[in-house]
Structure formats: structure tokens, C-alpha cells
Structure 1
């Protein structure tokens, strides 16, 4: 594998550079999304739709931990990209060392708290009725792998900040392949049920972490830290926290969203509607992988060139990223509008050997998911502007606007809509909250991004 230097971020044509950065990120996200998707298909067909709902209850916790590592990773990576762009190698090394220390402290603390409050957390996230017991099994085992997951997500973003997207892609592929193989062995061959699904996930985290650790000890990484770099530096920690807080806050809001959705839908339709949302949630992760890939590829390009005061390249990267992401988002939109019923049928088995209760639940989910899926993805073609716009402020180190724009969709618009509309429109009110929030957040982000470009990026930097 050819070595890619960080200087390429400031030299190569933006179009081809974005493809080089975004394609591995997209493939990596695709593989991870396929992991979640196929894992859900395996669980749904081999264990049942209640098991899918149980995993959906635990996902907010897993996502929050992943976001904790990713927030430390992205916050530090923004500093690293700009430091490398301005030839401040020592600052980049100290930042990486501080990321490692912060990840260790935060993830270990979360495991302790998560295990202590296990019987409170699961019901709060919708793990009620028949969902509680399988959710508790999955939650307990997955929580043991939380520190490893945190380090894996943190390290992956740093690899990308170094301009090594192919290694970041491989780091995402390894646990996916491992998880799917272990799913087959633990669930299908060894009949371990939810225990098997949970252990497959936890072991896959370890595989990912092992590869990332190898990368940083190998010749491929430019960040060779020593013990002294692990000592926390107040200014660096503060900057990591302010920038990484954007990602963490976004995921915290996502976790709150899952909590509200699972509870509201359980009240409206019991386990059946929770299972419907679980399938739609998997598609939200899977279908938009190329859009998220373009966003991830855009971050180091914008950060490096902003640090190097190459504002014309920053403008070009914004426009190109929005164009590419909008094209793929439209293609995704067409597919989801055309084949929602066929997509749903992949997750659910109607084997007549199952119990009457399980069969009735599965038939409901099969017949009831297509229309909600269309509503949830109705505004997909326009979301690229919102994602790239929020990512731009994060890439250049402007934490407050990045935080506000990142939270705009789910925090400022979706959650209030979710609390209001179901009171008037019932279940429909839940689903139409998605596209309304997308449209409002895109309008707000477009306004602030345009103002920032005109104010900052059209000014020739002093030489």
C-alpha cells in the first residue's frame, strides 16, 4: 500500500483528493453499516423480531460510547490536521498522546457507571415488556468491550487526519467481517442466542483495536509518541473537548432521540412499533453511508488547507463535497422510495414453525414498515448541505457554530417535533417529524455557511 503524505492534502486537485479521502471512508462506513444491517438480518431470522428490538434499545448506549471515542478522535484530529498543515509536529504528537489518556479515563468511567445503573438504563431506553431480558443480556456483554470500542473509534479518526484513509478503511472492515463470521458461528451453529450476538460484537471491537494499535506502532504512522506526550495538557484538553464536544453532543442527542422514539412508539404500538423503528434505524445507518463518507473525507482536506491559509482550496472543497454528497443522497432516496417493502422483508422471517405471537408480530412489521420508511427518508436529497456545512465549522476549529449546527436537526427541531406532533397525529406524527426537521436544519445551516464563506473565505490571507 502506497504511503500518502499529509502534504498531499494541500497540493492535489480537490475533486480527485476528495474521492481518495471519501471513497475509503465510504467503504469503511459501508462495511460497518453492512455489519449492523446483516447482523440485524441474522438476529431477526435466527432469533426473532423481539431480538432486533432489544438490540435497538442497547444501540444508543453503544453509539454514545463510540461517539465518546470518536469525539475525542475528531476533536484532536482537527488540531492534528491544522498542526500538520502549519508544520507544528510537536503539537500534533502532544494532541495524540492526550487523546489516548482521555479515552482511557472516559471509557473506564462509563463502564463502571453503566454496569451499576443497568436496571435503570435499559427500561429508560425502551427495554420494557418482552424486550427487557434479551436487552439486558446484550447490554451487559457489549459494555465489557466499551474501552476497546472507544480506542478503536478514536484511533480511526486520527489515522484519517494523518492522510491515511485506506488504513482507516481497513480498520473498519476487519471487525465487520469478524462480527459476521462470529454471528454465524455463535448464533446459528452454537445456538447461543443473544449471548452469541453480544460476544460476536464485543470480540469484533477487539479485532479493530488490534489493527489500529499495529498501525501506530508501524512505520506507516507519522505520530510516534513517547510517555511524556500522554501527560494531559490543559490547553489541548480544552480544545479537544470544545471541538470533540460537537460530536459527543450530537450523539448524546441521538441517544435521547432513541430513548424518546422507543418509549413513544412502545406506548403507541408496544413491541411491534419498536421493531418497525429498529428496521428503519438500520437503514438510516446503512443507506446514507456514502454521504457520511464524503463528510469524513472532507474534514481533513478543509482542516489542513484552512491551517495552511489556502482559502480558495477550502471553498472548492466545500462546493465539491456538497455536490458529490447530494448526488449520492438522491440516488439513495430513489432506491428507498421504490423498494421499501422489499427492504423490510430482508429482516423478518415468517417461518410457520415460530410461535403464533411471534408470527403475528413479524407479519405486522412486514406490512407496516414501508410507509414510515418513505416518510423518514423523504428529505434525503437535501441533507448533504446540512452535514457538510456543520462539518466545515468543526474542521476549521470553530466549536460553537459547529455544535449549534450539528444539534440543529435533532436537538432544536426533531425532538420538539417528536414531543408535539404525535399528540395530534399519533403514529404519523412520529414519522413526519423526520423530513420536517431535515428541511428546517438545512435552511439554517445553508444560511450560516454562506455567511461564513462570504466573510472569511473570500478574503485573501496576508502573506
Structure 2
């Protein structure tokens, strides 16, 4: 299958990779949305705020696995493009060892420092008790989530996008069913919501383990491949660390965001952002799918030293993603009230959220260029520019904006920070990517 990355029509190949990735992200996002609807309707508004506080911590730990997966899959894609299967196999083994070692270490640290960690992330006032219950329940499922997130891009790099999709679909379906069981049928409150989420993480991790030991996995490892190799770990960490740093930056953003929201709008403002965040996860799934589909194709052809196919992959991905993002933008502008009413019947939220949602999505049509530009450097193994471009939106622009603008514009300052950061990050990424293609993309 991987050989097709170097021969098949780019548009057709991108669709084969992007559609399963998009479907997987869609189902996962729907799961997050349904989860929010269930806890909002069956537990209460503070439950939405509690999940908004806790999930960034869980996602940061699981991002270690995702980072190792993306970093390793970049090395594997380029190795397969060169025909070097031995390196690909050893990298695969090192990814497994790194993920298990680091994810369990961070889970132990997170559990030990639970209370101050939750306080830092915004678990204040009425949010504190439900956030603590939720955190203690889901935390032990996080290593399996990290393992699944490591496996997802790796499976895609092996040319098996449908199996990568299943790693996202199966836990989402499990979580929805278990939410009904543990929140509605057996009213266990936040502990029930956490239990459903933790078990769904186990389903995802279990499926990835099944794939790795099945005949579908083309990279067969031995015990020697599990032994960490310094030069390979360095490459995996250099590229994968970008994802971890990005998630860490997002976690820092959430801390500052929740601080500003709580200070200028109270618990309700945090719940408003919780809804906006869920809509963002859902609405942008096809654009993120294009980005995920882009990575293995660009990496393989870069490894094969086919500059023309790499350029075509960049242009096709940006074109597809921009059209899709523009359609999403129009839909949100037309139906903001309907979107918000899906999540809650609380009158305060119904009044405050639609306008905030529209403002936050104003720059949606331009975001594909920023996503593909950052992903390109990660795909081809250029860690430093990939890191800089990845951090532009959340780190360089959004964190200062969500801290400073509310001082002058209140909660509205938080919402207008999002499109400003998007536009600035996209402009810089476009200029840098154009320069890179002109000066360096030739063999």
C-alpha cells in the first residue's frame, strides 16, 4: 500500500487518506459533543465547565503518545520512501517503548499533584468538586489513550487509513453507549461520565494493540526493536515534541483563558467556551482530516526525493481544505443559535454563546494554509520551523491576546482574540512556506 504514495494521482490519494481521517475525527468530535450534551442535560452546567477544565490535562498526557506517533511516522514515511524497512521497523518498536514509559510517568505525576493541577487549570468555585470527581475517574485510562494516539498516525503511515479511522470511531461509539448507561440509567454523576470516558480510552488502545499483532501490520518487530536507540529517539522526540509542546501550549492557553473567562464572566463564561470548543472540534473535522491525510503522502514523496509530487500535495491539500473551511464558515454564520441550542436549554448560555461563537469562527476560511504549512515541515523532518509555525496561533498570538484584550473589552476581548490570532498566524505561515518551496524544495 505505501508504494501508492509515490505513484497514484495526488487528489485521489489525498481523498483516500483524508476521508477516513475526517470520518474518524468527526465521530470523535460527535462523541465529545454528545458527551457535553449528556452531562449538560443530565448533570448540569457546572459539569460542562468541569469537563472543559479536566480534558486539557488528559489530552496533554495523551499528546505524548500522539507526538511520538506523529514524529515516528514522519521518520517511517521517509524511510519507506527510501525503501529502508529495517529503520522503519526499529522506529516502530522505539515508539511503543517511549509511549508506555512516558505516559505512565505523567499519569503518576498528575495523580500525585491532582489538586493544585486542577486549580491551575481553572477548577475554582462550584467547578472544583465535579472536576475532581471526573479527573480521578478518567486518569487511569489515559495511558491507553496515549497508546492509541501513538498508533493512529503510525497506522496511517503504513497505508491503512481505514484502520486508523477505527481507532477513533470505536471509542466514540463506546463512550456514547456507556454515557447513557452510567449517567442516565445508573445516575453516577461525574464519576459515571468519567468511567464511560476511561473505558472508551481502553477500547481505543485495545484496538491498536489488536492491529499491531494482526496480519494487517506490515512492520513486524522483535524484542531488540523495543530497546531505545539514542539517534532514533532524538529524531522522534525532535519531531514528536512539536505535538507535545503544542498541546502544552494549548494547556497554558486554557489556564490563561479560564482565568480571563472566570474573572470577567464567571462560571457561565467558561461554560460558553466549553460549547464553542466542542463546536470547533466538530466543525473543523474535514479540514483536520485533510491535514492528517497530507502528512504521510508528503513525507513519503519527500523521502523518495520527488519534489514535484510534494509541491502538488501541498497545493491540492490547501485547495481542498480552503473550500471545505469556507463552507463550514457559512454554515456557522447562518445557524449559530441552532448549534448552541443542541447543547443546552440554559437561558444564560443561549443568550451569550451564539455571538461569541460567530466571532471565534470569523477567520475559519484561511486556516488551512496555516495547518498545512506547519504540517509540511513536520512531514519532511524539519523540526524547528515546524515548531515555530505550529506555535504561532496558540503560543505567539492567542495567549497574549486572551490575557490583554479582556482588560479593555471584557469577555468580548477573549472571543475577538481567536480570529486575530488565526489571521496573523496564517499570514506568517504562508510567507514562510512560499519561501521554503522556492528556495529548498528541489533535489
Q: How does 1:40-439 map to 2 (within 5 A)?
A: 40-349=36-345, 362-439=346-423
2:411 and 2:22 map into 1 onto residues whose CA distance is 33
Contact 2:329/2:362 (<8 A) preserved:
yes
SS state of the match for residue 117, structure 2? helix
Unaligned stretches of 5+ residues in structure 1: 350-361
Structure 1 residue aligned with 2:428: 444
Contact 2:257/2:403 (<8 A) preserved:
no
Q: What's the offset of the Cα at 1:268?
A: 1.0
2:285 and 2:149 map into 1 onto residues whose CA distance is 16
Q: What's the offset of the Cα at 1:270?
A: 1.2
The number of aligned residues is 443
Provide Cα deviations, 1:358-391, integer angstroms capped at 9, x if missing partner.
Answer: xxxx211111101111110000000000000000
Unaligned stretches of 5+ residues in structure 2: none
Q: What's the offset of the Cα at 1:275?
A: 0.5
Higher mean alpha-carbon deviation, 293-302 vs 138-147, is at: 138-147
Provide Cα deviations, 1:250-284, integer angstroms capped at 9, x if missing partner.
Answer: 11111111111111111112111110011001111
1:210 and 1:430 map into 2 onto residues whose CA distance is 39
Contact 2:141/2:202 (<8 A) preserved:
yes
Provide Cα deviations, 1:142-165, integer angstroms capped at 9, x if missing partner.
Answer: 111111111010011110010110
SS state of the match for residue 305, structure 2? coil
Q: What's the offset of the Cα at 1:66?
A: 2.2
Structure 2 length normalisation: TM-score? Answer: 0.99
Q: What's the offset of the Cα at 1:301?
A: 0.2
1:227 and 1:52 map into 2 onto residues whose CA distance is 44
2:282 and 2:256 map into 1 onto residues whose CA distance is 22
Provide Cα deviations, 1:38-65, integer angstroms capped at 9, x if missing partner.
Answer: 1101111111111000000001102112
2:178 and 2:367 map into 1 onto residues whose CA distance is 35
What is the aligned-residue RMSD (CA, Å)?
A: 0.8
Q: What's the offset of the Cα at 1:418?
A: 1.4
Contact 2:137/2:195 (<8 A) preserved:
yes
Provide Cα deviations, 1:393-449, integer angstroms capped at 9, x if missing partner.
Answer: 000000000000000111111111112111111111111110000000000000010
2:181 and 2:108 map into 1 onto residues whose CA distance is 30
Structure 2 residue aligned with 1:354: none
Runs of 4+ in 1 over 6 A off after TM superposition: none
1:281 and 1:29 map into 2 onto residues whose CA distance is 14
2:235 and 2:56 map into 1 onto residues whose CA distance is 26
1:66 and 1:376 map into 2 onto residues whose CA distance is 26
2:28 and 2:61 map into 1 onto residues whose CA distance is 16
SS state of the match for residue 145, structure 1? helix
1:313 and 1:348 map into 2 onto residues whose CA distance is 47
Structure 2 residue aligned with 1:358: none
1:237 and 1:42 map into 2 onto residues whose CA distance is 41
Provide Cα deviations, 1:171-199, integer angstroms capped at 9, x if missing partner.
Answer: 11100001000001110101111111100
SS state of the match for residue 293, structure 2? helix
Contact 2:361/2:418 (<8 A) preserved:
yes
1:44 and 1:82 map into 2 onto residues whose CA distance is 45
1:443 and 1:47 map into 2 onto residues whose CA distance is 43
1:112 and 1:177 map into 2 onto residues whose CA distance is 28
1:125 and 1:213 map into 2 onto residues whose CA distance is 32
Structure 2 residue aligned with 1:30: 26
Structure 1 residue aligned with 2:439: 455
SS state of the match for residue 381, structure 2? coil
2:120 and 2:212 map into 1 onto residues whose CA distance is 39
Contact 2:62/2:143 (<8 A) preserved:
no
Contact 2:37/2:343 (<8 A) preserved:
yes
